[in-house]
Copies of this chain bind each other. A is one copy, B any other.
Amino acid sequence: MRTFFCLLLALCSLVRLARAQAAMDLMPMPSSVEQEMGFLTIDPSFSVSVSGAKDVRIQHAVARFLDHLRHQTGITLLQMEVSRSPVATLAIHADHASKEFPQLGEDESYTLEISDSGAKLSAPNTLGVLHGLQTFLQLVQNTADGFAVPAVTIHDQPRFPWRGLMIDVCRHFMPVAVIKRNLDGMEAVKLNVFHWHLSDNQGFRVESKVFPKLQELGSDGLFYTQAEIREVIEYAAERGIRVVPEFDMPGHSTSWFVGYPYLASAPGPYQIERRWGVFDPAMDPTQDRTYKFLDEFIGEMAHLFPDAYFHIGGDEVNGKQWDANARIHVFMKLHKLENNTELQAYFNKRVQPIVSRHGKIMMGWDEILNPDLPKNIVIQSWRGQESLAEAALQGYSGLLSSGYYLDLNQPAVQHYEVDPMSGQASELAPEDAKRILGGEACIWSEYVSAENIDSRIWPRTAAIAERLWSPQELIDADSMYRRLDATSRRLELLGLTHNAIYADMLRRIAGSDNIAPLRTVADVVEPVKGYARESLAATEPTSLTPLNRLVDAARPESMPAEHFTKLVDDYLAGNGTPDSEAEIKSLLTQWRDCPVDLQDLADKSSLLQEVMPVASDLSALGIAGLQALDYLDKSEPAPDEWRTTQLARIEQAETPGPAQVQIMVATPVQKLVEATSVAAPASPAAQ
């Protein structure tokens, strides 16, 4: 209740703040923010002191903090050394060092008090200090009197203890540098679990010294050495982030079988899978040698990964290899296993004690849920709150990932609206509800490369991070989008490339530095949603298909399309201005003309050829919109026949083709055309 009250206070103070000065673009929003009068100036004399627990991670965090502050302001900060004297601009105090590696359930709270004479950050342990430093950076503003942070008192702690990001490095490999910069991004938005999806049909991505053919034959040479794994774990721990490894079994495991075919339920030989989908190969759950292998392998990995949790995947076993194997049939009869689901449950029941013996808690996707397994396992739900609530009722802990799949190219607000405690979960008794630990954003990498992955993760993941950190009552989408925009800029400053890569990829597609005409198209399209990309592909895509096309460059959420939609809605509601009508016209004109502007380039670039039909559709929208505006300006209804023709053309433009992108401005143009059925909207130009 206190949280909710503070939140209201926070929202009120934000409203006041918006009038007085630039808004505080905090994300995730702290649980309590009280704004006071005044500012603390940032100048070259800025200094930091640390008292309390001695933890080298705090020293490192302060060094990173100062680097970032320098980068944000361009101000030379001379006080590089962190003093232990309390006389400093920012005085940090941690009561205790946090655990050597972060652990589930550690206290992550902090208090940040800023006045015009100095700032105090205090926390029970290191983790709160890390979070508080990020909040401080988010408060830095460029004011009329120079760079400064507003006077404010913040008490903050997370709503959920498990706030994760899963990255699939199997379908496309992601080098260590990509992982590290995404860990930087995670720290900035207070996510605390990096779930590393390390093996799948398309690749086995970790060096095993016990079973070296796993990476030697199963990875195309694209894997992490154990030294690199340790480096990433250390890097994450410095940022308060746990690393949970996932080795998917018994399905999604073709890459294991290339080197070790005897693990599979059919003889082989096996090749690394290049296609996408659910495939037949699965481990043989009836052979003791399978468990002997897993025992040694899990032992090796349990030693490499310090986190208490070990993810065994367990999803999407189609059972075909089991069905086709007579010996497995005999085994199932013998053990009274009625079907493949029971056979997989048998597998899990044999793997769980192995995981446990190596000191780890087993976790897996929805499919592993089975009443015979001990209650301390964790279920990660790709199915939804219902299956999560069900697990909680049975006494199992769970995480939500349904609704947080970033590769489906949904707008941020759709993820933002997904709450782990909604639906059936909202009806749980408190003692059951507390088993819902949080959630994880997931990026599956069929159509995601090391190049464009940042643009698939960011900035949308920041909205999910807020959902998992901030009070449940915070649901204003406009506020979220405004703060997401500022967050996106800050993430780019941290070294993430989600914005920079857009222009780079457009330049490559255009084969030219002159990307303006291509950008006209790219700005208002999005990759097709959900799993539509598969069905629109001309030839079956594989892991070797280049990801260098318009669909790979286009942003999952087009803010220019959003902006145009709003302009049109305002115009049709009579709330437009002459400027906004001029802007609508100018955009429609650019769209109308884009095929002509692109033609010269298209003759020279193979990648532009598939863009031309999209440009032609966009051009049709431009023409329809301009004609509609003419009718509306003249305050005369358009002929029904014209409208019918236009609406048909708009529908056609809205339907994605082989370029696999969706034009996002068809709906507002359709509204303009539909508005011509009656005379005159309240357009300022027509008044």
A586 to chain B, nearest CB (A): 12
CA distance A171 to B117 in the complex (A): 31
Copies of this chain in its oligomeric complex? 2
Asked whether A544 and B606 contact (CB < 8 A) given A141-B511, A489-B507, A508-B142, the answer is no
- Find the B residue at minimum CB distance from A509: B142
Assess whether A222 is in contact with B548, with CB atoms less than 8 Å apart: no
Query: In the complex, what residues of B have CB within 8 A of residue A221's CB?
Result: 80-81
Interchain CB contact (< 8 A) of A142 among B44, B76, B81, B607: B607
Partner of A145, one of B143, B145, B544, B606: B606
Does A603 sit at the interface, judged by CB under 8 A?
A: yes
Residues of B within 8 A of A72 (CB): 508
Q: At the interface, yes or no: A95 with Cβ under 8 Å from chain B?
A: no
What is the 8 Å Cβ interface bit string for chain A, positions 601-645, against chain B (1 contact, 0 not)? 001111101000000000000000000000000000000000000
- Is A146's CB within 8 Å of the partner chain B? yes
CA distance A492 to B451 in the complex (A): 14
- Chain B residues with Cβ below 8 Å from A22 are 511, 604
Shortest A146–chain B CB gap in Å is 5
A144 to B607, CA, bound (A): 8
**B76 engages A144 (CB within 8 Å):** no
Instruction: Give Cα A546–Cα B44 distance, bound, in whole angstroms.
Output: 8
Q: Which residue of B lies closest to A146 (CB)?
A: B606
Tell yes or no: A176 within 8 A of B by CB.
no
CB distance from A46 to the nearest CB of B (A): 11
Q: Which residues of B contact A513 (CB under 8 A)?
A: 485-486, 489
Q: Does A552 contact B (CB under 8 A)?
A: yes
**A511 CB contacts on chain B under 8 angstroms:** 22, 141-143
Residues of B within 8 A of A145 (CB): 606
A83 to chain B, nearest CB (A): 13
Tell me whether A74 is interfacial, beta carbon within 8 Å.
yes
What residues on B are CB-neighbors of A596 within 8 Å? none
Interface of A is mostly: loop
Q: Which residue of B lies closest to A72 (CB)?
A: B508
Minimum distance in angstroms from A450 CB to a CB of chain B? 9
Contact of A545 among B76, B606, B609 (CB under 8 A): B76
Expressed in whole angstroms, the minimum distance between the Cβ of A435 and any Cβ of chain B is 41
Do B508 and A76 touch across chains, with their CB atoms under 8 A apart? no
Given A80-B220, A81-B221, A500-B500, A605-B144 contact (CB < 8 Å): yes
In the complex, what residues of B have CB within 8 A of residue A76's CB?
Answer: 449, 543-547
Q: List the B residue with the shortest CB-CB distance to A609.
A: B144
CB–CB A71/B604 < 8 A = no
Q: Compute how far the CA of A603 lies from the CA of B508 in the bound complex, rounded to whole angstroms.
A: 39
Does A583 have its Cβ within 8 Å of any Cβ on chain B? Answer: no
User: What is the distance, in angstroms, from A345's C-beta to the closest C-beta of chain B?
Assistant: 38
CB neighbours of A552 from chain B (8 A): 74
Interface size class of A (residues with CB under 8 A): 35 or more
- In contact, B71 and A142 (Cβ under 8 angstroms): no
Chain B residues, Cβ within 8 Å of A354: none
Q: CA of A489 to CA of B500 in the docked complex: distance in angstroms?
A: 13
| Chain B nearest Cβ from A511, distance in angstroms | 4
Closest chain B residue to A601 by CB distance? B142
User: Smallest Cβ distance from A159 to chain B, in angstroms?
Assistant: 29
Known: A22-B604, A142-B605, A604-B144. A508 touches B73 (CB 8 A): yes
CB-contacts of A30-47 with B (<8 A): 44
Is the pair A605, B507 in contact by a Cβ cutoff of 8 Å?
no
Q: List the B side residues contacting A489 at CB < 8 Å.
A: 507, 513
Give the contacts of A450-496 with B (CB-CB under 8 A): 451, 485-486, 489, 492-493
Query: Given the known A-B contacts A80-B221, A513-B485, are A73 and B546 also in contact in the complex, defined by CB atoms under 8 Å?
Result: yes
What's the least CB distance linking A22 to chain B, in Å?
6
Q: How far is the CB of A122 from chain B (nearest CB, A)?
A: 26
Contacts A44-B544, A511-B22, A513-B485 given; indicate if A74 touches B505 (C-beta within 8 A).
yes
Q: Does A78 reach chain B (CB closer than 8 Å)?
A: yes
A selection of 22 A-B contacts at a CB cut-off of 8 Å is A22-B604, A44-B546, A71-B451, A73-B508, A74-B505, A74-B508, A74-B547, A75-B546, A75-B548, A76-B543, A76-B547, A78-B220, A78-B544, A80-B221, A142-B508, A142-B511, A143-B511, A144-B603, A144-B605, A486-B513, A492-B504, A500-B500
Smallest CB-CB A-B distances: 7 pairs = A74-B548, A142-B511, A146-B606, A75-B546, A44-B544, A80-B221, A142-B605
